[in-house]
Amino acid sequence: MTNLVKTLTLADAKAMVAAAEAHATGLAVPYAIAVVDRGGHLLHFSRQPGGAPGCVGLAINKAFTAAMFGKSTEAFATLAQPSGELYGIQQALEGRTVVFGGGVPVLAEGAVIGAVGASAGSVQQDIGVAMAAISASLRDGLVPPNPAPIAKG
């Protein structure tokens, strides 16, 4: 029996980054945007002119975190606080876990097939840029149209 595993392609990742860049341009903030595969490995990356060097690692690690846990990085914001159930999780995965918004998994038929991470603006702006990439993947038919909702907590 053959098991087919859905995955993001480089073409998918490029289209997602292009949509995220367009959204970021509207914010007038130079963004770092990363798309990773289901294993958290970088597929495509963009740093807009003038983008802060520190945002490079953050964008990649936001995408990595979302792929590894299958949750938006925003979901960890409250849980990772000193009184939260997951306090200390930011030390997981060799310190690469990001516990604030801007990383969103890409899901197909309920399974993680990749993730996008965005960094440069406020947390809400980062989430918006990442969601622009996710929306493009749905609109362009890159991912089946019934992804599971992103659960918080």
Domain ranges of the chain: 10-139
The H or E element containing residue 116 is: strand 111-119
Which CATH number is 10-139 given? 3.30.450.150
How much is the pLDDT for 143? Answer: 54
Predicted TM-score (pTM) of the model is 0.88
- Mean pLDDT value across residues 85-110: 93
Share of the chain above pLDDT 90, in %: 80
Residue burial 33-68, b: 16+ Cβ < 10 Å; e: rest: bbbbbbebeebbbbbbeebeeebebbbbbbbbbbbb
Element (H, E) at 44: strand 42-47
Contact 112, 7 (CB under 8 A): no
